[in-house]
Chains A and B, each alone.
Chain A
């Protein structure tokens, strides 16, 4: 089983739609959680960290469910510029490796 699993999509949604991505992780001792965004042929960039209490940044909301070992990302009022691949990232407490999911591809359609 992979350390981090994501639905690769693709997700094709119209502008203004709300879209949600989920990600599951295998190690219950995981310590930190992130969502990164990666544009085509570019490097990943941090979108937001994910905290136990959940957190929101504008149109983006991240949630963590430790009991079920998944994290989610909700994007409201999708913009064309949100089109990218969204990577789920988990850092395990026992080491210092960051484990990336395969990424979920999002295309926002005019």
Chain B
């Protein structure tokens, strides 16, 4: 399968714990995006990378959220001191090159914070 993959698919954690998600984009896609989606809403932009450089972050992204893409391939999204409001689907998407290109989404990681 050469699509975008995300791990884990589901994560249940207790409030206050740290969690880390991984995204493996389509090979040779140099742009990678992270989104958060809650029930009844569309995906909400969090941040994006071009290769290993994090070029943009949403104003809504609190200091508890951090993302990396150290070698320009896979990316990780870490949430520290999780809160119940962090419960959502976290989606990763990649595009070949331009910001105007089609985005290919992974299956998402569903986070539940108890």
Measured CA separation A39–B55 after assembly (Å): 30
- Residues in B neighbouring A91, C-beta threshold 8 A: 99-100
**Is the beta-carbon distance between A97 and B42 smaller than 8 angstroms?**
no
Count A interface residues, CB 8 Å.
Answer: 23
Cβ distance A51 to chain B, nearest Cβ, rounded Å: 12
Cβ distance B74 to chain A, nearest Cβ, rounded Å: 17
Which of B43-51, B65-73, B75-83 binds A?
A: B43-51
Q: Which residues of A46-79 are within 8 A (CB) of B? A: 46, 49
Measured CA separation A34–B43 after assembly (Å): 14
- Residues in A neighbouring B104, C-beta threshold 8 A: 46
- Nearest B residue to A8 via CB reads B40
**Is the beta-carbon distance between A43 and B44 smaller than 8 angstroms?**
no
Q: Known contacts A100-B42, A102-B41: does B106 contact A43 (CB below 8 Å)?
A: yes
- Residues in A neighbouring B25, C-beta threshold 8 A: none
**Is the beta-carbon distance between B45 and A43 smaller than 8 angstroms?**
no
Does chain A have a CB within 8 A of B27? no
- Residues in B neighbouring A97, C-beta threshold 8 A: 45, 48, 56, 58
Supply 7 A–B pairs (Cβ within 8 Å), ascending by A. Answer: A4-B42, A32-B100, A43-B91, A43-B105, A43-B106, A46-B104, A95-B56
